[in-house]
Amino acid sequence: MNATGIPLKEPAISAAAGDTEQLERALIDASTRVPVLIFYTSAVAWLILGTLLAGFVSFKLHTPDLLSDISFLTWGRVRPAHMNVMVYGWASMAGMGTAIWLMARLCRTVLRYPLLLVAGAGFWNLGVLLGVGGILLGDSTGYQWLEFPSYAAIILFVAYTLVASWAVLMFRFRRGEQIYITQWYLLAAFLWFPWLYAAGQLMLFVVPVQGVLQAAVGWWYANNLLFLWFGAIGLGTAYYMIPKVIGRPVYSYHLATIGFWSYALFSSWTGMQRLVDGPFPAWMVTASIAATILTLIPVATVGLNHHMTMQGYFPLMRYSPTLRFTVFGAMSYTVFSLVGVLISLRSVASYVNFTQASIAYSHLGLYAFFTMVIFGSMYYIVPRLIGREWRYGSLIKLHFWASAYGIGLMTLMLLAGGLTQGASMENPSLAFSESVESVLPYLRGRSLSGILLTVSHFIFAYHFGLMLFGLGRKSTVPTFLNPVESEGAEPH
């Protein structure tokens, strides 16, 4: 037993099942090695590129003349390049990697048709590469998160079809009748994404809708991508990792059911609240504001469920990297949703509508919640694919704190900056330029947080690289963040 008196081991169920289960699991993990590592490696490469672009974007925003004479380095092109690298390169690929591994584990079958996934990853990388290149060369479409020119979008869609058809096939081979909570979320994400992406592409570029509806479709797409694709993968992963690491079943299946269906129903109706008071029928905005407020139901149920599962096991966050990252992400999901509700209320929205606060919101969702959960899952999954443990607990710790402080500082800076900016913008006795001046100090602060995040991502990439080249520790005991004082900690 360790100092906390809490066992660091697998759920009781696996301990009882004995060697056959262990062997079966090892076989499944081995079958996922190549495809999942391809997804992860590409994701980490995109993460580094996206981080560099982000730093550049952040500095240019308060230093406008920095390299502005080169067309492909102009702020207005690098910014969408950064967003799309992060959204489609890093977050989507890492999310798919985790989802693939979880699917194989939860369907309790070795991964079949790996070539579908390898081809999918290849096409996806090609699509992102062409898309980002297109944006930098001046082919951006101008719609948030759909900036990729059509030639890249088609390749992405083909790639996605390969991955999604693999997911559906895997489901047919699953063993056991029970479908675990994580699988609901993953299956939903895999089915929602193509519909969403196809609807967005069709309604904006193939048979474009008229006028302002393009903006509405654009925001509907962006918000649903955040919730139904990233959000669903993130929540599903958290539902797997938290019980797995602490070795205790999820607190309540009923709560999980309520959480899942209310999430699907309400979060899909958000999006228009970001267009508050724009040239739209008022009912669209009002419906989305109502839906945003109703997302508090899934937030409360999911949050409560995780909290009750973790109850008494929080000290384990001192040791397990996976748990620490995942719980941070799960908590950020609550913060993200609360901020989302706050900035969508009409009285607040009229202040923060056109300010940096909306950037804070997307970073809370995509980074503080989703990315942190995915980091956690990678710390769990990669050793199982490679057969080596993470080399340095200290690097994981550094990664965590740099990420946590970085995203915390960024959120605070952007929210506070957004409020300041909005307050001066809504005061017509102040010149408009004063609203811009007022936010610049916060943007410099945000650049500082960007340095922290850059450090964190380089540390992670280095550590991941060590693992990839087989330089991890040979051990049966996972790498803990802090030494477990006593004997008896069992491997997991």
Partner 1 sequence: MKGLAPLFLGIFGTFAFSWLGLTVIPNWQIGHLNPQSDEEGSDVYPMPQSGMVTRGARVYAANGCNYCHSEQVRAEYSGADIERKWGDRRSAPRDYIFERPVLLGKMRMGQDLANIGARAPKEEESPSPTGGASPAPQGAAASPGSVASAKAASPPPGTSPSPATGPAKSPGAVASKPPTSPGLASPPPSKSPATAAAAAGPPWPEQTAGLPPMYSAAWHHVHLYSPRSINLDSNMPSYRFLYETRRISDARSSDALQLTGSDASPEGWEIVPTYDAKCLVAYMMALNQSHPLKEVRSAGAPAAASPAASPSPAPGGQPAK
> Which residues within the stretch 362-421 sit at the binding site for partner 1 (CB under 8 A)?
none
Residue 430 CB coordination number (10 Å): 14
One character per residue 42-71, x = contact with partner 1 (rule: CB under 8 A)? ------------------xxx-xx--xxxx
280 binds partner 1 (CB under 8 A): yes
Instruction: Produce one character per residue of 311-347: b if its CB has 16 or more CB atoms within 10 Å, e if not.
Output: eebeebbebbbbbbbbbbbbbbbbbbbebbbebbeee
192 binds partner 1 (CB under 8 A): yes
Task: Name the residue nearer to partner 1 (CB basis): 36 or 215.
Answer: 215
Task: Name the residue nearer to partner 1 (CB basis): 160 or 220.
Answer: 220
Task: Name which position in 113, 157, 173, 261 contacts partner 1 (CB under 8 A).
Answer: 261
Minimum CB separation of residue 231 from partner 1 in Å reads 13
Minimum CB separation of residue 136 from partner 1 in Å reads 10
Minimum CB separation of residue 153 from partner 1 in Å reads 15
Cα 423 from Cα 430, distance rounded (Å): 10
5 by Cβ neighbours in 10 Å (0-12 / 13-18 / 19+) ranks as: exposed
Task: Name the residue nearer to partner 1 (CB basis): 42 or 353.
Answer: 353
Residue with tokens 């609360």: 338
- The values of phi and psi at residue 45, to 5°, are -60, -45
Task: Name the residue nearer to partner 1 (CB basis): 46 or 143.
Answer: 143
Identify whether the C-beta of residue 297 lies closer than 8 Å to the C-beta of residue 265: no
What part of residues 209-228 is at the interface with partner 1 (CB under 8 A)? 209-217, 220, 224, 228
How is residue 322 written in tokens? 């996976």
Task: Name the residue nearer to partner 1 (CB basis): 138 or 387.
Answer: 138
Task: Name the residue nearer to partner 1 (CB basis): 19 or 69.
Answer: 69
Cα 247 from Cα 269, distance rounded (Å): 36
DSSP structural state of residue 389: B
Task: Name which position in 31, 41, 144, 165 contacts partner 1 (CB under 8 A).
Answer: 144
323 binds partner 1 (CB under 8 A): no
What part of residues 146-175 is at the interface with partner 1 (CB under 8 A)? 171
Minimum CB separation of residue 452 from partner 1 in Å reads 23
Q: Count residues binding partner 1 (CB under 8 A).
A: 88
What part of residues 338-367 is at the interface with partner 1 (CB under 8 A)? 346, 350, 353-356, 358-359
Minimum CB separation of residue 88 from partner 1 in Å reads 17
Identify whether the C-beta of residue 407 lies closer than 8 Å to the C-beta of residue 376: no
437 binds partner 1 (CB under 8 A): yes
Task: Name the residue nearer to partner 1 (CB basis): 84 or 456.
Answer: 84
Smallest CA-to-CA distance from 380 within 331, 324, 425 is with 324
Identify whether the C-beta of residue 476 lies closer than 8 Å to the C-beta of residue 436: no
Cα–Cα distances in Å, from 130 out to 85, 156, 201, 370, 489?
Answer: 11, 10, 17, 25, 48
- The values of phi and psi at residue 146, to 5°, are -125, 30
